Amino acid sequence: MQQRKPIDATSFSLMVIFCMIMGGQQVAIKTVSSDMAPIVQLALRSLFAAVLILTYMRFKKERFVSESGAIKYGVLAGVFFALEFFLLGEALTRTTAAHAVVFLYSSPIFTALILHLFIPSERMSLVQWVGILVAFSGIGVVFWVPSSTITESTFIGDILAFLAALAWSLTTVIVRSTSLAKVPVKQVVFYQLIVGFVLLAVAATVTQQWHFNSTPMVWGNLLFQSVVVSFVAFLMWFWLLSRYQASQIGILSFMTPLFGVVFGYILLGELLDRQFLIGSTLILSGIFVVNSTSWALRRIHHLQQAKG
C-alpha cells in the first residue's frame, strides 16, 4: 500500500486550483440562471458527469464492487444528493452566490453533530464544541442581526442553502456509516449522480423549469460544470487523496467558500455587507476549528499507537 505523504508545494497548489473550481461553481450556475434554471443545470450536469465517470471506469477497467446493501444505500445517498442540489438550485434563484457557497459549506458542522450523536467513535472534543458554538453564533449574526440588504427573498434563499448543507451532511453520514464505506468512491459518486439526475429531472418537470434559452454562454457554462467541476476536479480530488494525507487535504478545502465569496464579488458584483462578512467569518472559523481539531486528535492517536 502506498504511504500517503504530508502536504507539500505540489498538493497545496493543486488544492488551491481545486478550491477555486469548487468555489466558482455557484457563481457559474448563477451567471446563466436567467437563461437556464439552476435545477436544470444541475440535472444535466449530473447526467454528463455520470457518463464521464462511467467511461473513465471502463477505460481504466475498474469494475463495480458488489457489497451487501451498497445499491440500496447508494440510492438513499443519491436521494439526499438530489435534495441538496434541488435546495441549492432554488437558493441560487433567491440569494447571492456568496451567501449560497458559505452556507452550503457549513455542512461539516451538521456532519460533526450527527456523527457525534450516533457513532461513539466520532465523539467531539471540547475544542470542537467551541468551534460548533462559534459557527452557530455566525449563523445567528447572519439571520437575526437586522440588515438593510436582507430581503424576504434573500432570507428564504439563505435558509434553503442551509437546508442544502444539512442534506449534504446526511449524504456524508450515509456514505461513512454504511456498506458504501467499503465501495470504491467513483462507484459511490456514480450512484449519486444517476439518482440525482433522475430526481432533479423529475423536479424540474414538476416545477415547469425545463424551458431555457440555448445560447453559447449557456452551453459553455454547462460544459465547464460537467467536465471541469464534476469530472476533472473530481479526479484531481481523488488523486490527491490517494497520495496525500486525507485529513490535511480536507483542512485545505476550507479555502473553497472563500473563493466563492471573492468570485461572487468580482464576477457578479455582489454586495458584501458587514453583517454577512462578520457572520461568515465566524461560520468558517468554527468549521476550521472542528476540522483541524479532528485532524489533530487523529494525529495524536496515531502517534500514541506508534509508540505503544
pLDDT digits (tens, 9 = 90+) for 229-272: 988 998 888 788 778 776 667 777 888 888 999 999 999 998 88
pLDDT digits (tens, 9 = 90+) for 179-206: 888 888 889 999 999 999 999 999 999 9
Calculate the CA 273 to chain-centre distance.
24
pTM recorded for the entire structure: 0.86
How far apart are alpha carbons 191 and 73 in whole angstroms?
9
- The helix-helix angle for 70-92 and 97-104 (nearest 10°) equals 150
How far apart are alpha carbons 74 and 70 in whole angstroms?
6
How far apart are alpha carbons 257 and 16 in whole angstroms?
12
| Mean of pLDDT values over 111-127 | 81
| Mean of pLDDT values over 71-87 | 95
Specify the higher pLDDT residue, 203 or 64. 203
| Mean of pLDDT values over 80-94 | 95
Nearest to 282 by CA among 124, 131, 125, 159: 131
